[in-house]
Structure 1
């Protein structure tokens, strides 16, 4: 549907408890890895991404993936 603005946000391979990371990377529909070869994101980082998208929406009608940098 082109008249509905939606966004899907997926965590990395490992979704763990923890505070938001100072830096994170947002990618498309592919699994992401950080420079240490880990595919991990904290709940705090995911919450920060969701809030940032609500306040200042940058992605529309797509799915993004998040990894702690």
Structure 2
């Protein structure tokens, strides 16, 4: 029918198999919309997930918060 759909839960379980279910997972993206889908999927799979509501946009605009870049440590 051409409509976007989620993969079956069995396929999603396989995609997330490397993540231990004993950890809390915080989803985030640039503005928060894209991470909502990951949050939803993780919750459907039984993971303890939360979404960082402020997203990267909020975090990166607060100079008091650390940002780690590849190879050069926290800033």
- TM-score (norm. length: structure 1): 0.27
Higher relative contact order structure (alpha carbons within 8 Å, sequence separation ≥ 6): 1
- TM-score (norm. length: structure 2): 0.26
Q: Which of the pair has more CA radius of gyration? A: 2
Greater fraction strand: 1
